């Protein structure tokens, strides 16, 4: 009997090890698939054309930048040694007013050009459009979902100050993962030249965003699998899914923020914007764009979007 119990005990132990090893393997593959997606982010020409097709209002302005060679680029090296790239456009008249525009998951800097037009043409700002890690012309083997990116954008803010002088005033405006980056950034200790933020359809945390997706596939195991995947991400990339929280960061932000979200967003559910808005201390504003799906508020409500952004930013950058 003792021998049977011993065999059963060892069998149970081996089974647990196999389940754990299998879970770690699956979680590693999951993290790799999310943070190393197959996409067209490196294809700058495709993204330029995609932007123009989806935002025809921006075409004359964007074409003029190319023709006059006003669209320029620059690079920096991140604190952990990654080469990062950005495009920039100077204002028509010298000014310190500057917008840093942060793109979303699998996109790149060119996909933010239509928003760049708002700041550069309508408001007369300089614009700086970074390519986040793994995206566009920046290096990096993995997407960082905004968490490490927030520190990179802080570096870009200092680059802008060096470019445009002591009178620099900065607004950071992000869409989707770029909005999460901006919100994650907003909770850090920032220099006085950062004046306000615009976030468009960002998620509350990486955990919440991934949980919604995995729950649709494996409801009963979603929390367990996501916890293991978060552990794997922490070991491999230095951050966990709950740590990368826009919600916690905006709660520490004292600067003005405009929250924008599409009424019919089901990728980053519209419901996410309400706890973000509630957590953020004043001053703050919220606009739910009627009928808009994910990252499409500008496209569905172009004129209202432009007016909302111009009105908000002009209160804090003068």
pLDDT in tens, 74-86: 999 999 999 999 9
The pairing of beta strand 83-89 with beta strand 72-77? antiparallel
**What is the residue-averaged pLDDT of the chain?**
91
How far apart, in whole angstroms, are the C-alpha atoms of residue 105 and residue 116? 18
User: In this model, does residue 211 exceed pLDDT 90?
Assistant: no
CATH 3.20.20.70 fits 36-205+244-316, yes or no: no
Radius of gyration of the chain from its Cα atoms, rounded to whole angstroms: 22
User: In this model, does residue 183 exceed pLDDT 80?
Assistant: yes
pLDDT tens-place string over residues 84-100: 999 999 999 999 999 99
Give the per-residue pLDDT at 220: 47
User: In this model, does residue 176 exceed pLDDT 70?
Assistant: yes
User: In this model, does residue 302 exceed pLDDT 60?
Assistant: yes
pLDDT tens-place string over residues 231-289: 989 999 999 999 999 999 999 999 999 999 999 999 999 999 999 999 999 999 999 99
User: In this model, does residue 114 exceed pLDDT 90?
Assistant: yes
- Average pLDDT (108-114) is 98
Give the per-residue pLDDT at 14: 57
**pTM of the entire predicted model:** 0.92
Q: With pLDDT > 90 as the criterion, what percentage of the chain qualifies?
A: 81
Q: Residue 32's pLDDT band (boundaries 50, 70, 90)?
A: confident
Give the per-residue pLDDT at 228: 87
User: In this model, does residue 35 exceed pLDDT 50?
Assistant: yes
């Amino acid at each position: 009997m003792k021998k049977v119990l011993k065999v059963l005990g060892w069998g149970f132990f081996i089974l647990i090890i196999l389940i754990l090893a299998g879970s770690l393997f699956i979680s590693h593959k999951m993290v790799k698939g999310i943070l190393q997606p197959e996409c067209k982010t490196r294809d700058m020409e495709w993204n330029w054309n995609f932007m123009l097709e989806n935002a025809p209002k921006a075409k004359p302005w964007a074409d003029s930048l190319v023709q006059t060679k006003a669209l320029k680029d620059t690079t920096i090296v991140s604190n952990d040694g990654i080469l990062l790239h950005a495009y920039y456009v100077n204002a028509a008249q010298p000014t310190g007013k500057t917008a840093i525009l942060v793109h979303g998951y699998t996109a790149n800097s060119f996909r933010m050009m239509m928003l760049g037009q708002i700041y550069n043409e309508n408001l007369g700002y300089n614009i700086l459009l970074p390519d986040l890690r793994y995206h566009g012309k920046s290096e990096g083997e993995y997407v960082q979902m905004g968490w490490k990116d927030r520190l990179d954008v802080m570096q870009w803010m200092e680059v802008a100050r060096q470019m445009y002088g002591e009178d620099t005033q900065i607004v950071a405006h992000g869409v989707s993962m770029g909005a999460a980056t901006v919100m994650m950034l907003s909770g850090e200790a920032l220099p006085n030249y950062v004046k306000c933020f615009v976030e468009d359809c960002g998620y509350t945390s990486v955990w919440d965003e991934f949980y919604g997706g995995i729950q649709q596939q494996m409801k009963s195991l979603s929390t367990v699998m996501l916890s293991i995947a978060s552990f794997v991400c922490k070991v491999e990339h230095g951050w966990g899914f709950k740590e990368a929280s826009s919600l916690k960061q905006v709660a520490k932000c004292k600067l003005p923020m405009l929250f924008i979200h599409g009424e019919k967003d089901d990728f980053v559910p519209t419901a996410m914007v309400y706890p973000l808005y509630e957590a953020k201390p004043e001053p703050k504003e919220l606009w739910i764009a009627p009928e808009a799906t994910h990252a499409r508020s500008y496209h569905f409500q172009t004129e209202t979007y432009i007016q909302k952004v111009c009105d908000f930013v002009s209160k804090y950058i003068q």
